[in-house]
Chain A
Amino acid sequence: MSGSYIPLLVLFGVSIVNAIGMGIASHILNPRRPTPVKEMPYESGMIPLGDTRQRFSVKFYVVAISFIVFDLETVFLIPWAVNLQSLGWGVFGAVSLFVLLLALGLVYEWRKGGLEWE
């Protein structure tokens, strides 16, 4: 069964070679005449001030955690969805409870303002 993955492996190889090849081809072919102005970050003609890599809003962190939680939920729902018929009503109740819990989590986050991008 895992034999059906071999074409994927080959395709991965082809894509990686293609990506690296594109990089190398343009590296060989294109001219390079760097000037100090050319090497400056492009910020619409303004002289860049300060360091780029500043700390950013904690918002992104909340989004990432919520993403993990709901991604996991999706993953847990997949086996249930595929075997919906054979698992029947009993498991439907259990999954409803599971979904309800996470919906509650979403509501809590909503009420607490975790979803506001003010």
Chain B
Amino acid sequence: MGSSHIIGIEDGTAYFLVTSAKIAVMFGVVMITVAYTTLAERRVSAFIQDRLGPNRVGPMGLLQPIADGLKNLLKEETLPASASRLYFLLGPMLAMIPALVTFAVIPFAAPLPTPWGVVPMVIADVPIGVLYILALSSLGVYGVVIAGWASNNKYAFLGGLRASAQMISYEVGLGLSLIAVLMLAGNVTLTEIVSRQQQLGIWFALPLSLGFILFLICAFAETNRLPFDMPEAESELITGFHTEYSAMKFSMFFIAEYAHMLTASALMATLFFGGWDLPGTWDDMYMFQGQLISGFGANGAPIAATLTVWKSLATFLGFALKTGFFLFLYIWIRWTLPRFRYDQVMELGWKVIIPISLGYTMVLAATMLTLYEAGVEYGFTFGLVLSVVSGLCTLGFVFLLDKGGTIGGAASGKKVTFEQEIL
């Protein structure tokens, strides 16, 4: 056991070394995960469609992502004569940079004890946590629009526009569904949100079930994945904003998309499924008056947390499993559900998600205030009451969607001409 001192910026060299190591490892892990998610996507889709999928390069096709990467690096790139060169180049970069830096604020394991001090397992525990993620996800629009605009291709331009309108519509829903998490956590840093879930004893997915469902829908729409992949609806827009892109520039859009998926999955795990927290209280540790504690004793005195390396490893594994599950969910849904029509996407965003998340926020706030008023301590009972209220809201939501009156759908008999369809 090393010292219980938490390595911070005031430690100078030690902090610098630890942080550099964390950045290098995280960057590598994100890139490798992104590469292998593309393989997983192809293998899972093959499994769902009862075929084999890529299995020739390396054992079980495991070297396929590397082969793809090399191919894209060495392939000829096309540049339409009518495209604006500078912006054509800038598009993929603008798409990729925000996608790669978002991951930095997500805590991925319990603090790791080392002989030199305790290392927090998050790259940058910035005080604005969730807001940082919202801010960066709002910047993701530009890469897509600029790419579509610079290509000087009608399909690409339309794809870029559609993508941007869709992304900004669902960003509101994303923000509003996050309000519920902020209310229950009372904080915006992600490490604090994880520790509040440990204190509550229930992961937020249950007390905030409707919030989680809304967040899930918005996250799918934000990452432009099926059933919301309007910007690249193949049957309508070729491949949308990246129609003119090939080789490495296309790869960059691909990396951005999968990095967004990875971040969204990790975020769902962190905000609603306890982050690195595992069931039970044996791994709980959170900050209390500058000390890492695992809970309070019978007399209300804080119990110091015992940090071990295997705890950090186990929690990291837990986090990876949760994130992996959501990545799988992305793929699973992509190969299961058909695509929405564009007007359905916009209507779902503005007429369903936004009003419902607003109402839900107010219901939750009133419930929480009543609970505080009644003197219910933040803990298991508190979570249980909220779970019941949210469960009722979720039931209502499902019932509302099921009636088919709001979203329309093929059976609603609404006439859509071809021109309106492509706009």
Chain A residues within 8 Å of B, Cβ to Cβ: 1, 3-8, 10-12, 14-16, 18-20, 22-23, 25-27, 29-34, 36, 38-44, 48, 52-53, 56-57, 59-60, 63-64, 66-67, 70-71, 74-75, 77-78, 81-85, 88-89, 92, 95-96, 99, 102-103, 106, 110, 115-118
B186 A82 Cβ-Cβ under 8 A: yes
29 pairs from A and B in contact (CB 8 Å cutoff): A4-B9, A8-B104, A10-B23, A11-B23, A18-B100, A23-B93, A25-B248, A26-B249, A30-B73, A30-B248, A40-B81, A42-B155, A52-B153, A53-B149, A53-B157, A56-B161, A57-B423, A59-B165, A63-B346, A67-B172, A70-B354, A75-B175, A78-B182, A82-B183, A89-B369, A103-B355, A106-B355, A110-B351, A117-B342
CB neighbours (8 Å) of A74 from chain B are: 172, 175-176, 179
B96 A15 Cβ-Cβ under 8 A: yes
CB neighbours (8 Å) of A64 from chain B are: 165, 168
The answer to whether residues A30 and B342 also contact, given A82-B182, A84-B183, A92-B369 and a CB cut-off of 8 A, is no
Within the complex, the shortest CB–CB distance from B160 to chain A, in Å, comes to: 11
CA distance A70 to B175 in the complex (A): 9
Binds A, one of B56-64, B121-129, B278-286: B121-129
B238 A41 Cβ-Cβ under 8 A: no
The answer to whether residues A78 and B131 also contact, given A30-B248, A67-B172, A99-B362 and a CB cut-off of 8 A, is yes
Give the residue of B83, B127, B369 whose beta carbon is less than 8 angstroms from that of A88. Answer: B369
Within the complex, the shortest CB–CB distance from A83 to chain B, in Å, comes to: 7
Say if the beta carbon of B37 comes within 8 Å of chain A: no
CB neighbours (8 Å) of B229 from chain A are: none
B79 A41 Cβ-Cβ under 8 A: no
Within the complex, the shortest CB–CB distance from A28 to chain B, in Å, comes to: 10
Within the complex, the shortest CB–CB distance from A30 to chain B, in Å, comes to: 5
Within the complex, the shortest CB–CB distance from B10 to chain A, in Å, comes to: 8
CB neighbours (8 Å) of A38 from chain B are: 78
**Chain A residue nearest in CB terms to B417:** A118
Within the complex, the shortest CB–CB distance from A2 to chain B, in Å, comes to: 9
CA distance A1 to B189 in the complex (A): 13
B95-149 with Cβ < 8 A to chain A: 96-97, 100-101, 104-105, 123-127, 131-132, 138, 149
Say if the beta carbon of B244 comes within 8 Å of chain A: yes
B244 A84 Cβ-Cβ under 8 A: no
Within the complex, the shortest CB–CB distance from B136 to chain A, in Å, comes to: 10
**Chain A residue nearest in CB terms to B24:** A14
Main secondary structure of the interface of B (DSSP, over half): helix
- The 0/1 profile, CB within 8 Å of A marked 1, for residues 176-193 of chain B is 100110110011100000
CB neighbours (8 Å) of B132 from chain A are: 8
Chain B residues within 8 Å of A, Cβ to Cβ: 8-9, 19-20, 22-23, 27, 72-83, 89, 92-93, 96-97, 100-101, 104-105, 123-127, 131-132, 138, 149, 151-157, 161, 164-165, 168-169, 171-172, 175-176, 179-180, 182-183, 186-188, 238, 243-244, 247-249, 251-252, 342-343, 346-347, 350-351, 354-355, 358, 361-362, 365-366, 368-369, 372-373, 416, 420, 423
B123 A7 Cβ-Cβ under 8 A: yes
Within the complex, the shortest CB–CB distance from B325 to chain A, in Å, comes to: 26
CB neighbours (8 Å) of A41 from chain B are: 80, 82-83, 151-154, 156, 244
CB neighbours (8 Å) of B420 from chain A are: 118
CB neighbours (8 Å) of B76 from chain A are: 30-33
CA distance A38 to B247 in the complex (A): 14
Within the complex, the shortest CB–CB distance from B244 to chain A, in Å, comes to: 6
CA distance A81 to B404 in the complex (A): 32
A8 B9 Cβ-Cβ under 8 A: no
CB neighbours (8 Å) of B19 from chain A are: 6-7, 10
CA distance A57 to B342 in the complex (A): 14
The answer to whether residues A29 and B74 also contact, given A10-B23, A12-B101 and a CB cut-off of 8 A, is yes
A71 B172 Cβ-Cβ under 8 A: yes
CA distance A93 to B333 in the complex (A): 40
CB neighbours (8 Å) of B104 from chain A are: 7-8, 11
CB neighbours (8 Å) of A110 from chain B are: 350-351
CA distance A96 to B403 in the complex (A): 28
CA distance A5 to B343 in the complex (A): 41
CA distance A5 to B128 in the complex (A): 10
B247 A26 Cβ-Cβ under 8 A: yes
A77 B179 Cβ-Cβ under 8 A: yes
**Chain B residue nearest in CB terms to A40:** B80
CB neighbours (8 Å) of A22 from chain B are: 96, 248, 251-252
